[in-house]
Structure 1
Amino acid sequence: MAAKCLHPIPYGALNDPEARIRKRSTDLLVHPQQLENLRMRSSLITAIRRTLDDAGFTEVETPILNTIHGGASARPFKTFINAYGADLTLRIAPELYLKRLVVGGLGAVYELGRDFRNEGADATHNPEFTVLEAYKPYADYTVMRKLTETLIKNAARAVYGSEVLPLGEKGSTERTLTDVSGEWRAVSVCEALSRALGRDISSETDFETLLELTHEHQIHVRDDMGAGAILEELYGELVEAKTVFPTFYTDFPVETSPLAGAHRSKPHLVERWDLVINGMEMGTAYSEMTDALEQRRRLTEQSLKAAAGDPEAMQIDEDFLYALETGLVPTGGLGIGIDRLAMLMAQTQIRGVLSFPFVKPVK
């Protein structure tokens, strides 16, 4: 006898999704595919690490306990440190710390770590999740686009043995392994939205026109949204959700990207792209904001939103701004959702690629 078993193993009987999560070890015993998903996840993370290490990046770790929440627009988890009588938050992104390391001269850096966002759980979200963030001096969002394509293709080779991905429409369970070895397309958000709507859309399109389009297409927007945020909502529903083959959508409104550098030739836009596969955002990248005065202005706008009650708005991080004032060279940064990439490879929901997905506590 290897071990005493006090509970019969329910082969073929443990099918309720919530029960499977609460009894995760038993779930793994009776559903071997779950074990394969976890092994696959390990393989793709190893491939990503190897690619970055070979490219000369240094892996680092940055704080999870933060005195100021920043690096992304999201609702943070709050906690308290008894020793200092101070409020803290769990990090929503490591971006500001990683940029400070670039300012300090460490060169190209990356972190594979956990982020936390107090926004609930569903088929594609978990309150805590794994993200890759990488920053490279003397690079821009075009360089990071090529790096991201290499990272995902190398991960695909580690999982499937070749540069293929399971592709299919959002909301459908049908997936077909498709060759993605060629160069992935890059198209601007305004160009893609113009095609989807059958009319010209640009960064100059006025607020009233964009708002009218949301009504026509029954897209909900908040009263506090400006033209840039509404344009991005239209993009999300009419472009992102309908994209299957890996595509980089570029050049977003400055309003929705406060940490990205201004576009070198297009007013009101920033040098940012989002990678979309199967109707889902897989990653994003910027030519990072290096102008300390402009960054302070944007973060001040964010802090005013926070003071007005927006729980997702960023706060002013004076330590980060001091580092930026010291001098950040032109830098490209990227972020890839590891859980979502694993979901793509395993063709499952997020619960299928986490060792212990979050489940609502029993009262």
Structure 2
Amino acid sequence: MYGIDDLDVLVVYNASVAQSAGVPDETSLHPFLLNSARASYNESYEYFLSTCRANGLTAGLASSADVTGPGICQTYWTSTPAGWIKMSQSARSLHIFDKISPTNALRSAERTLLLSDVSVTPFNDLDLFTIFFDKLKTYTKLPEYAIPTVEIKSSKFADLKSSLHQLRDLCHNHPYSNDFSPQIILKDRYGAGGNYVYKTKDNQISEIRSLIRRHDTVSFVIQPFLYFNKGFAYQNRPTATDIRLIFHHEKLLFSYIRQAKAKDFRCNQHQGGKIIYVDKQTIPDSVHKIAKKIIRRINKPGSLYALDFVISNSGRVYFLEGNIGPGISWDINEKTDVKMCKRLIRSIVGELATRISS
């Protein structure tokens, strides 16, 4: 096919975040806008592409808005030590590093088209992506480890009452029901980064309904609020903390904790949470034991994924969620963050090189 560059690897990123290489220069000379919260992605993805080159792989980065067929994008970005370069011709690859979140019909259609041929292989396992992308499916797959989760079908009072009743039953029948507070967590079923996550009272149906109607494009689930502000005390300082373990080939690549900012329960970095990298020994054995059980259950030995946990105030471990595409961006002011993210990138590219050469 004329005018198409065949690449070994093509990174395809959400169009809501990444700019098309077809945008005018006055709009952007970088795939991620310099005046945005994701400006640092330019550095991390330049490192991704340079690591591909060091491994003998040709690679590019494209916006999901440029997807025109299976494994094909109409324009793409590449990089050199001098900076980013816009490529006006199409790119094609059989190996896709997929960073599209199908949170709406448009993104879903782009991702479906991109992966619509069996010869096009995403880096991440498709079945595992489906389980971890959907918080309800995560609970359905792993109910004995996860926090009880119920779908909100609509903002109708009858549906809300039904969902709340179902959640109360799940909590009541849970072997450790005392771990749960009367408060309710309302969260985006397909969300990330702590966005669209709210804490409300159990009986405040009007408040829940108002939030759902205010965000009518978001699909929500509800969970009980878990008491966890004293469950894990890093350096003897208890605070709301979650624990992330990142696995590749079922081996622990590295781990870190995230501490919520004062008066918040959301530990996500985008919500002001603080990341602290820790060694394996810092993580309680009880967390490692549950992680091993989950790894055996999902049985995806070739995959890269993160498992997030919290420890209740009573000391019990709960699986919070899985992440099939842990971020490879870094905080340029944190040397450890840069070091560990580069390590993750090298692991990803090494896996891609192995797949391509086999």
What TM-score results when the alignment is normalised by the length of structure 2? 0.28
Higher helix residue share: 1
Higher strand residue share: 2
What TM-score results when the alignment is normalised by the length of structure 1? 0.28
